[in-house]
Amino acid sequence: MPRFAYKASGGGGGGVIDAPDRAIALREILRRGETPASIEELGGASAAAVMVGGADGSAFGKGEMAGAGGSGVSRSGAGGLGLGGRVMSLPELANFMRELSTALRAGLPLVQAIRTIAKTGRNSRQKAMMSRLIEEVEQGKPLSDAFAAQGPPFNELTINLARAGEASGKVGEVLGYCATLLDKDVRLRASLKSALTYPAMIAGLVVVAVIVVTTVIVPRILKDVAAQGQRLPWPTRVLQEFAYVFSHYWWLILLAGLGGLVAWTTFYRSPKGRMWFDENILKMPIVGTLMRDVAVARFTRTLATLTNSGIPIVNALRVTKGTLGNVAMEGVIDRVIEQVSAGRTIAQPMEESGYFPPMLVQIVNMGERSGKLEELLTQSADAFEERTQQSVKTFTDILPPLLVLCLALVVGFVVLAILLALLSVQDAVMRSA
């Protein structure tokens, strides 16, 4: 039977253990209450030491670990904060990262920490995912590689942060940063959702009101008026034609709407279409300001978190690019990466684009010159998030009244058309008398 020599973390000694394979040896060492720093099969000429979950929560393989700024490719294929699967929602992922961070900071070995979290009110899919994580780590894989092997809900951001924690030996602390970042994104999404709910309800009421008025109310009111044979005013004729087309050809309107939706979706998913849409939406007065502020807040917080975690600036920019949600702004970050890779500054292409606020450009410029980019980004992240909240409030304050005004104009036109028709008939009756 193979024999494995291991060294315990924290200078706690080590020993030799007989086991069929490395994974079973690791389980036996953990069962004894020891946290191994490395395990090596005796007699293996090229056996590599495997690092597995020290007291600080690190978990990486010697020779396996990429640099802190590695590509961190995951099956999700997403570089941003969006989740590609349903194993965990974004709030659940944030909670998992925070619980794992707390357990590791408390000194629990990595495997034991995940096993403990799996017992606390998790559904069957999450427990299965955590079982796979435990299996990967027990086989000697780094935590970041274990995350990548799962695909969603772990994306490039979480994988790179875990890898940075492994490189610095501060997995617990860095996962705490990750949890904070995810919490911020959860709150931002909740703000946007609440901001859009009321306007969406009003827009729905406008559509329903127009359909009911034109297909039910107007035909009944104007039925007798049309029978008089009088030439009706143009608002009434417009309303009649609209009611007739909608009531008789609603299916054609529905098909045209579906066709338009399919055409727009196809156009939007094409690179040129997405670029056209993202460029133009940033130019809109209210919505454009909101979209830009959301992107800037995410950019600042994510870049600050990644650089504070020790990820090199170029790799941090690549990961951060995926959080913007706007192709036009992502193109700016691509130019920033090219500039930085060539040894030039970050601030210049950001300023030339016109998409990023001057204050952020100045902060980045000062951070580069003073060597305190991480510190200044962290300090400014709260300010930009506050600015985003203000933009959300402005959006919710302005959009509902605009929709109500649209509804009032539609109803006013309908009332005017009906009144003019009634007055026209009354005029004709009075003249004939």
* pLDDT value for 48: 37
The CATH fold assigned to 90-169 is Receptor-associated Protein (1.20.81)
Instruction: Catalogue the E-assigned strands of 171-229.
Output: none
Report CA-CA distances (Å) from 122 to 87, 91, 101, 126, 174: 10, 13, 17, 6, 23
CATH class of 183-433: mainly alpha
pTM for the complete prediction?
0.62
Please say whether the beta carbons of 26 and 49 come within 8 A. no
* pLDDT value for 225: 65
* pLDDT value for 66: 35
* pLDDT value for 26: 64
pLDDT tens string for the chain (433 positions)?
A: 778 787 765 555 678 888 776 656 666 776 676 666 566 777 643 333 434 443 333 333 333 333 333 333 333 333 344 444 467 888 889 888 988 888 888 888 888 888 888 877 678 888 888 889 999 888 888 888 889 888 888 888 888 888 888 877 888 888 888 888 888 888 888 877 887 787 788 778 878 877 787 777 777 777 766 656 667 788 888 888 887 888 788 899 899 999 999 999 999 999 999 999 999 998 888 888 888 888 888 888 888 888 887 888 888 888 888 778 889 988 888 988 888 888 778 888 888 888 888 888 899 889 888 888 888 888 888 888 888 888 888 888 888 888 888 878 887 888 888 888 778 777 766 776 6
Residue 308: name the closest of 183, 186, 177, 181 by CA. Answer: 177
* pLDDT value for 260: 94
From CA 261, how far away is CA 400, in angstroms rounded?
24
From CA 154, how far away is CA 97, in angstroms rounded?
11
* pLDDT value for 433: 61
* pLDDT value for 43: 63
From CA 265, how far away is CA 21, in angstroms rounded?
52
